[in-house]
């Protein structure tokens, strides 16, 4: 049985896309630059905030490191105050977290979101859950899909690879788990298209399937394509 469950945040536990889109569009609008739809932003997120800004900018501006840095700073300043305007847990996720915690699993978050933002959202939406670690974008560790965050969390939890599973919604999360040598459950309700998830150990379409997969220790195939 897996003892440690490491969750991605955006697109897995919380639907954050509307606030991310609003923040980036606010920053773009301040410079009279083209804005994007929420659907377009679902394909831009997942590799950290700087990559998000780069993907939202026209090509020539995305190649200007100084301009990207300036836009990123403006975005983060706005987003810090508007991070939870539209953000909310996906259906069944609060109950999923409560159930796993009650069953004795250690829980953690490994995200490419800014550290302060990840901590703020977890505290707001899961205030009664004692997470082993909530890890976001930090100068101490490289972004996912590098396995450093996962390895740090396993070490902090005192749990080995044989007793750890990752849950995420993207190819980045799947590759992170592969790099760490742990099984991965991909959830289909997040930001990425289903075809990106087929390389996961299995796909869960609702939170009950996540629980079943975790209980099976990564060996149960659910909706695997």
List active site positions. Answer: 8
Q: Can you tell me which residue has the tokens 């394509």? A: 225
User: Hey, what are 136's tokens?
Assistant: 């976001």
Structure tokens that stand for 37 in this block = 């739809």
Give 32's contacts (C-beta < 8 A, 6+ positions apart).
none
- With a CB cutoff of 8 Å and minimum separation 6, the contacts of 132 are 4, 106, 107, 108, 153, 156, 157
3-state SS, one letter per residue, for 82-145: CCCCCCEECCCHHHHHHHHHHCCCEEEEEEEEEHHHHHHHHHHHCCCCCCCEEEEEECCECCCC
Cα 48 from Cα 38, distance rounded (Å) = 17
Distance CA 10, CA 17 (A): 8
The beta strands (E) that lie in 62-192 are given as 88-89, 106-114, 133-137, 164-168, 184-187
């Amino acid at each position: 049985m897996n003892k440690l469950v490491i969750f991605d945040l955006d697109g897995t536990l919380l639907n954050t896309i509307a606030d991310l889109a609003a923040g980036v569009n606010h920053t773009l609008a301040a410079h009279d630059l083209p804005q994007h739809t929420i659907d377009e932003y679902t394909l831009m997120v997942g590799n950290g905030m700087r990559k998000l800004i780069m993907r939202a900018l026209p090509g020539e501006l995305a190649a200007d490191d100084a301009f990207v840095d300036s836009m990123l700073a403006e975005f983060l300043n706005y987003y810090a105050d508007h991070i939870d305007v539209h953000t909310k847990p996906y259906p069944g996720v609060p109950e999923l977290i409560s159930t796993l915690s009650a069953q004795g699993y250690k829980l953690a978050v490994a995200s490419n979101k800014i550290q302060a933002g990840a901590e703020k959202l977890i505290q707001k939406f899961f205030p009664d859950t004692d997470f082993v670690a909530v890890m976001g974008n930090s100068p101490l560790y490289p972004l996912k899909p590098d396995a450093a965050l996962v390895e740090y969390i396993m070490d902090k939890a005192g749990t080995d690879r044989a007793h750890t599973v990752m849950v995420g919604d993207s190819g980045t999360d799947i590759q992170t788990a592969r790099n760490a040598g742990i099984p991965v459950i991909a959830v289909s309700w997040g930001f990425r298209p289903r075809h990106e998830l087929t390389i996961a150990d299995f796909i869960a379409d609702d939170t009950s399937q996540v629980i079943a997969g975790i209980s099976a220790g990564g060996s149960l195939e659910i909706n695997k394509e």
